[in-house]
Chains A and B, each alone.
Chain A
Amino acid sequence: MTRPGVGPAGPDAALSSWTDEALFERVCGGSEAHFNALYARYFRRIYAFVYQRIRNHADTEELVQETFTVVFRGAANFGGRSSPLAWVYGVAKNLVMNHLRRARVLQERIAEAGDEPLATTSPHWSYGPDDQLTLRRCAAALDEQIAGLADWQAEAFFLRHAENLPIQEISRRTDRSADAVRSGLYRVKRLLVRAGALEPESESP
């Protein structure tokens, strides 16, 4: 049975005239219908705001998720400091600015590195035998994990994170369902994390 404001039909029209303040209050009381109305009201504007500045669907999705998470976690403490609109906007704006700042710093570091090889003879970049062994183990683990991937999964990962394509476009290009693409991307991430998190065998104390 479909509950009011729930499901594919989206939020109930009866709530469209409710103020943000009133909706937030009811959300903190645990009302799903009011939560759906608030989410629907803000989703498009937050997504558009973030995407206009980031131009990357994968990062936009992460920032939209982060914005809503901060907003709903803090909803009870909002306490009418300003309008909910200004508050939500402020959260989204801060997260976008932080993201852009981090990206700029990264770009500057890459530019500073220029054409220098990543592994230099500089003392700051030199590794001892233990570090080199760890790196070799990580590289071997990474190769092993990647070898276990289907070609389309590697392609989907590339399309998502190098070309910033939305899931639907990747689904079309790889001829897989959106759920399969999502699941494949998750698998690749897990494999990479597993390979990267590989610890060298511990020495006995």
Chain B
Amino acid sequence: MAQEIAKEFSTEELKEFLEGDLQPTQADPAFQERLRQELWALVQERYGRAPDDRLD
């Protein structure tokens, strides 16, 4: 898998991308939640909703 990724982007690029997880978020929490709701609506519209949305 790592080799496959490396074909498209350098390891450094992806590492930097992942380092975003460690940074304090500068995003507006209201934006984050609003976007989540909008995207979930999009997902439901596109793929439907699982009849039994359980964790397993």
Contacts and interface: CB of A to CB of B under 8 A. Distances in A.
Q: Interface size bucket, A side?
A: 35 or more
A44 B53 contact: no
Contacts of B49: 30, 32
B5 A85 contact: yes
Contacts of B5: 82-83, 85-86
Given A4-B54, A39-B36, A65-B35, A30 B27 contact: no
Nearest to A68: B39
A86 B14 contact: yes
Nearest to A4: B55
A49 B53 CA distance: 31
A168 B28 contact: yes
B55 A15 contact: yes
Contacts of B13: 89, 93
Contacts of A89: 9, 13-14, 17
Given A35-B43, A43-B32, A3 B25 contact: no
Interface string B25-51: 111101110011011101110111110
A95 to B, nearest CB: 14
A27 to B, nearest CB: 6
Interface in B1-16: 1, 4-5, 7-9, 13-14, 16
Contact of A178 (B4, B27, B30): B30
Interface of B: 1, 4-5, 7-9, 13-14, 16-21, 23, 25-28, 30-32, 35-36, 38-40, 42-44, 46-50, 53-55
Given A30-B53, A51-B26, 11 more contacts: A5-B55, A29-B50, A30-B50, A44-B27, A45-B21, A48-B20, A60-B27, A65-B35, A76-B46, A85-B14, A85-B18
